Amino acid sequence: MPFSRENPITVQVLGICSCLAVTAQLKPAVVMAVSVTVVVALANLIISLIRKTIPPRIRIIVQLVVVSMLVVLVDQVLKAYLYDVSKQLSVFVGLIITNCIVMGRLEAFAMSHSPLESLCDGVGNGLGYSVILVSLGFIRELFGSGSLWGYPVCEKLGLYAAGYENNGLMVMPPMALILVGVIIWIQRSRNKDLQEK
């Protein structure tokens, strides 16, 4: 199950780069999570549908063309409908093309499974990626900026008046890495099968 036991980020440790870069706030993290889920699900579906016609010698290129096309589509749609978020995500939408989760699922799963299974696999992996991204975005925005989805939670609760201060380290990329480490730690201590011998 890609949600927990085979989670692309915490178990397969793929897609770390974007995970560090876009999770300083909740909104871009959610948009990124949705974008990756859409791309990996559709790419899996398309590749699975045409898998029997793809000549093996150019299969990576074919996968790349399909993924790039989908990513550019997502990018264009974001620019048209969510302009401010697309500016925040900047190059990271384009970099979904090189996100190892996408190519990894295509090569390992979609090339050898039926369209329906592949679609589910894509959605599952996308959600596995999403759950980590959204939790990071939630934690980092709440403790780093004192807000959620741009809404100033801490200010409204009167925490600043009580002497509370935001943790500046939370908005820096290294903190995302540390948080991912903590999540992996918690997951492995609860699920002993994941621990390496």
> Contact between 80 and other proteins (CB under 8 A)?
yes
Closest CA to 31 of 133, 100, 123: 133
Tell me, residue by residue from 82 to 101, as one string, x for binding to other proteins by CB under 8 A and - for no binding. Answer: -xx-----x-----------
* Of 77 and 153, CB closest to other proteins: 77
Figure out which of the listed residues 73, 169, 182, 186 binds other proteins, where binding follows CB under 8 A: 73
Contact by Cβ (8 Å): 136, 144: no
Contact by Cβ (8 Å): 25, 145: yes
Tell me, residue by residue from 34 to 63, as one string, x for binding to other proteins by CB under 8 A and - for no binding. Answer: ------------------xxxxxxx--xx-
**Can you tell me the distance from the alpha carbon of 99 to that of 20, in angstroms, rounded to the nearest whole number?**
13
> Which structure tokens are listed for 36?
């990756």
* Of 87 and 156, CB closest to other proteins: 87
Contact by Cβ (8 Å): 53, 130: no
> Contact between 13 and other proteins (CB under 8 A)?
no
Contacts with other proteins: how many residues (CB under 8 A)?
Answer: 23
Residues written for the chain: 197
- 3-class SS of residue 151: strand
Figure out which of the listed residues 1, 81, 161, 162 binds other proteins, where binding follows CB under 8 A: 81
* DSSP H or E segment with residue 71: helix 59-81
* Of 14 and 102, CB closest to other proteins: 102
* DSSP H or E segment with residue 11: none
**Can you tell me the distance from the alpha carbon of 8 to that of 191, in angstroms, rounded to the nearest whole number?**
16
Figure out which of the listed residues 17, 34, 69, 184 binds other proteins, where binding follows CB under 8 A: 69
Figure out which of the listed residues 76, 112, 114, 189 binds other proteins, where binding follows CB under 8 A: 76
Figure out which of the listed residues 3, 5, 79, 164 binds other proteins, where binding follows CB under 8 A: 79
Residues that bind other proteins (CB under 8 A): 52-58, 61-62, 65-66, 68-69, 72-73, 76-77, 79-81, 83-84, 90
